[in-house]
Amino acid sequence: MKARTRTLIAAALVLGIASGPAVAHAAPVPVPAGVTAPLVPAPPNAAALERAIAGLGAEHGDATAALVRVGGTSGAWRGSSGVADVVTGRAAVEEGRFRAGSVTKTFTAAVVLQLAAEGRVDLDRPVRRYLPGTVPDSYGAVTVRQLLNHTSGIPAADGPGDSFEAQWEHRFDVTDPHDQIADALAKQREFAPGTAQHYLNINYTVLGVLVEKVTGTSYEEAVGRRILRPLGLRQTSFPSRTQTRIHGPHNRGYQAIARADGSRELRDVTEWNSSDRWAAGDIISTTADLERFTKALFGGRVVPAAQLEEMFTVPAVKTFGKGEAATMTAGMSRITLPDGTVLWGKSGGRYGYNTGMGATRDLSRTVVYSVNSTNAKGEDTNPVVMGIVGAAFAR
């Protein structure tokens, strides 16, 4: 299907042309020390972005739909492509809601950092001080900061299995976060706290419980009260513990399954219980809401400046088991593009949905996408996602 796009170029006055409807611009955002010019000065490359999401649908090898918003001080672009469902072939819902997966961790981290700014949480204090009896003495003094940047050494909780079919059989299971934490902490630690980085959901499951303990309310209410409602993120929500549907307009998600005869089945995976991800990955949102959140976060309107630095600080350790330099921060990660441009943001994957939000530190370029990947939990990055990110920062 031909990509349906419209280009909104903030540099129209400079170019002497108007492209698309007028765009309201936010106040200037803080620029990092030593930076005197936008990190990405050119407007979005509309042609490259259109190519990145062209031809999506039931017959495409990697995705059935994509929703993309590129913005920032240098200009903006919006686009959608593909189908809302493969049965009717109707066009993708441009403002559709989707499972944002581990993008949830950025919201969780922001709440914890707010609590740190209020003096209610000390990032260097052992977690067991807030959650007595949770972290065994054999683990050492696991701190809140080490949960945030995945250097705690806590192993993953057991689940039904890593294969799609194993997950599919248990897709409607309801999981209690306290049970997950107990299961994980009954095992030996993977490494001494603070000596390596291992990106695991369990860190943010513990943080979700910590938020509830400190605030005296549910994790969902804490995020709603502190972030969603103040920013007007009306299309962002958390499913209830037993909810399996995505309420509101949305594009259906599919997983490609190989049949014995060599053909391919697109299995509908839209309805799924996400309670096993909870504070680590069960948020539902839209590209418009995630773009607003990104701009507010980077602009210092969600987390105070001192604590916000945690989200742009990568611990000086190696990754567990691989020995590569760490890239994860408190709720985000650092991404360096081939041309040296540094992005900060978070991606997420739930069956049927790959999501990402990110930006340059100075907000000269932001990108948010939802791609209905047909192998969203695969080891390799979806080619459509790679194309979107590359096109969003094309010079």
DSSP-derived secondary structure for 77-95: EEEEEEBS-TTT-PBP-TT
Residues 74, 80, 102, 285: which is the catalytic one?
Answer: 102
- Report CA dihedral (47, 48, 53, 55) to the nearest 10 degrees: 70
Output the pLDDT for position 15.
Answer: 25
| Sign of the four-CA dihedral 239, 359, 77, 381 | negative
Output the pLDDT for position 162.
Answer: 85
Output the pLDDT for position 321.
Answer: 94
**Residue indicated by tokens 């949830």:** 104
- Is residue 63 classed as helix, strand or coil in its secondary structure? strand
Output the pLDDT for position 395.
Answer: 76
Buried b (16+ CB within 10 A) or exposed e, 180-217: bbeebbeeebbbebbebbbebbbbbbbbbbbbbebbee
Output the pLDDT for position 294.
Answer: 98
Query: Alpha carbon of 4 to those of 39, 76, 393: distances in Å?
Result: 28, 15, 20
Output the pLDDT for position 75.
Answer: 95
pLDDT < 50 positions in the chain:
1-2, 4-30
Fold of 4-392: Beta-lactamase (3.40.710)
174-205 tens-digit pLDDT: 999 999 999 999 999 999 999 999 999 999 99
Output the pLDDT for position 34.
Answer: 54
Output the pLDDT for position 33.
Answer: 55
pTM here is 0.91
Output the pLDDT for position 11.
Answer: 30
Output the pLDDT for position 36.
Answer: 58
H/E stretch holding 369 reads strand 366-373
Q: Is 102 one of the annotated active-site residues of the chain?
A: yes
Output the pLDDT for position 204.
Answer: 98
